[in-house]
Amino acid sequence: MSFGAPEKKLGIRGSPTREVYFDSVRIPASRRIGPEGTGFTTALHTLDHTRTTIAAQAVGIAQGALDYALGYMQERRQFGQPIADFQGLQFMVADMGMRVEAARQLTYAAAGRSERNDRDLAFFGAAAKCFASDVAMQVTTDAVQLLGGYGYTRDYPVERMMRDAKITQIYEGTNQIQRIVVARQLLDGVQSQL
């Protein structure tokens, strides 16, 4: 077993990523997960569970960006007052807060279903991952906007949060794939039996 060169990534730079190469590696049958020939099905079922963890990651990133933006708005002054007093910015943070909380609640619903291995886990896991990661991308982008020029610099953490949020829309299946999973679950009637 050997490893490729480290990837130079846009975000989540604290998590090293490399290719893993297997050359003439043998795995004993006692280490196999599930019956022979069921690997693809097992992998897909595993994704139903792990998508919830990506949703949780996305909620955490979004909450961090919201928290930072709120603190910044209360400290930053323009025209003799904190920018938190400006109604237009209040509307932005209100939308950010509502989205983060909606994503959190959907993620909690998916986590409960994952723990119980409920029949509707595929719907909730995909929905939570898709919704929460879209929220993370939107909220972090809004946080950058709220900080103005400072938000675009590495001196403030929201630019990193925005870069980190992007991967949550991609791994464990892109959000386009999540929408296919959700639609198929709805068409199969899984959601109507909740």
Residues serving a catalytic function are 172
Which residue pairs, CB below 8 angstroms and at least 24 apart, start in 119-123? 119/190, 119/193, 120/185, 120/190, 120/191, 120/193, 120/194, 121/48, 121/49, 122/48, 122/181, 122/185, 122/190, 123/181, 123/182, 123/185, 123/186, 123/190, 123/191
CA distance 151 to 155: 8
DSSP 82: E
CA distance 169 to 34: 29
Q: Which amino acid is at 75?
A: E
Any bridge partners for residue 20, and if so which? Answer: 3
Which runs of consecutive H residues, i.e. helices, occur in 26-119?
39-75, 87-116
